[in-house]
């Protein structure tokens, strides 16, 4: 196939708003639910599109193998968990010409995916770090499409400063993602692999039971593939209540 030549104005944009719920049925056992709403946009070869819709919800359960949070100077948690992603999002959006939009632009995937993860958090006085690793086993949808199994990990190094009812936590953040790409009828599609590393900064601000989370990350390494767009980075904003 000929190599695509993109115009300087061409882009792909992926925005997600997530509702996240965490509930402890025991001090060492937590249940998690994530329900996303996706807005994906693109402009390519003077054609554009916007795909909105509820994505695929994910449900997880985790166990705290180590939970040492009652001391003032040193705290740590080691958590292992597993989950499943349910294919309730729309993955068959068509344009006005009756052609289905590309698989990766769809709000949903149409597949049942399984995941396992581990998370370790440690803090000493005002400084700490957080490491998370997740492996995802992806299924196939009705159109015989699937994303190959993926590995993602992130690491945050943070400082925690408390004054009155406020807690400020600035952090340096690192993110890595690796997948061989998209398969159709079991055949790996050329140019769909993703291997990248991002780095950035974040700030969490807590007031009593409320929290505001801000972070920005820029791509520092990416697997180069001829004819593909490059990833600029990502911005995340979160609001939470405990």
User: CA-CA distance, 64 to 66, in Å (whole number)?
Assistant: 5
Per-residue pLDDT of the chain (242 residues; tens, 9 = 90+): 444 556 667 888 999 999 999 999 999 999 999 999 999 999 887 788 899 999 999 999 999 999 998 777 899 999 999 999 999 999 999 988 899 999 999 999 999 999 999 999 999 989 999 999 999 999 999 999 999 999 999 999 999 999 999 999 999 999 999 999 999 999 999 888 899 999 999 999 999 999 999 999 999 999 887 767 788 899 999 999 99
Question: Nearest to residue 92, comparing CAs of 77, 102, 80?
Answer: 102
pLDDT digits (tens, 9 = 90+) for 107-146: 999 999 999 999 999 999 899 999 999 999 999 999 999 9
Distance separating alpha carbons of residues 121 and 123, to the nearest angstrom: 7
Distance CA 114, CA 58 (A): 9
From start to end of 27-57, where are the E strands? 29-44, 47-54
The whole-model pTM stands at 0.90
Quote the pLDDT of residue 26. Answer: 96
How far is residue 135's CA from residue 118's CA, in Å, rounded to a whole number? 9
- The enclosing H or E element of 240 equals strand 233-241
What pLDDT score was predicted for residue 7? 66
Q: Are the C-beta atoms of residues 200 and 218 closer than 8 Å to each other?
A: yes
What would the two tokens of residue 64 be?
């705290």
pLDDT, tens digit (0-9, with 9 covering 90-100), for 96-106: 889 999 999 99
> How far apart are the C-alpha atoms of 167 and 187, rounded to whole Å?
50
């Amino acid at each position: 196939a000929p190599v695509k030549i993109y115009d300087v104005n061409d882009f792909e944009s992926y925005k997600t708003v997530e509702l996240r719920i965490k509930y402890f049925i025991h001090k060492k056992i937590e249940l998690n639910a994530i329900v996303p709403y996706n807005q994906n946009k693109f402009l390519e070869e003077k054609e554009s599109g916007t795909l909105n819709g509820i994505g695929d919800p994910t449900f997880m359960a985790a166990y705290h193998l180590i939970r040492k949070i009652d001391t003032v100077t040193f705290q740590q948690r080691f958590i292992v968990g597993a989950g499943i992603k349910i294919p309730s999002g729309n993955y068959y959006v068509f344009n006005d010409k009756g052609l289905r939009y590309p698989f990766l632009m769809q709000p949903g995937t149409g597949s049942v995916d399984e995941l396992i993860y581990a998370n370790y958090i440690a803090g000493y006085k005002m400084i700490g770090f957080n490491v998370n690793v997740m492996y995802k086993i992806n299924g196939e949808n009705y159109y015989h499409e699937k994303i190959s199994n993926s590995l993602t990990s992130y690491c945050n190094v943070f400082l925690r400063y408390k004054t009155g009812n406020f807690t400020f936590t600035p952090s340096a953040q690192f993110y890595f993602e690796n997948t061989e790409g998209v398969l159709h009828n079991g055949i790996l599609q050329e140019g769909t692999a993703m291997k990248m590393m991002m780095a950035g900064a974040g700030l969490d601000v807590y007031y009593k039971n409320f929290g505001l989370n801000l972070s920005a990350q820029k791509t520092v390494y990416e697997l180069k593939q001829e004819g593909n767009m490059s990833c600029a980075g990502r911005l995340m904003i979160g609001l939470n209540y405990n």
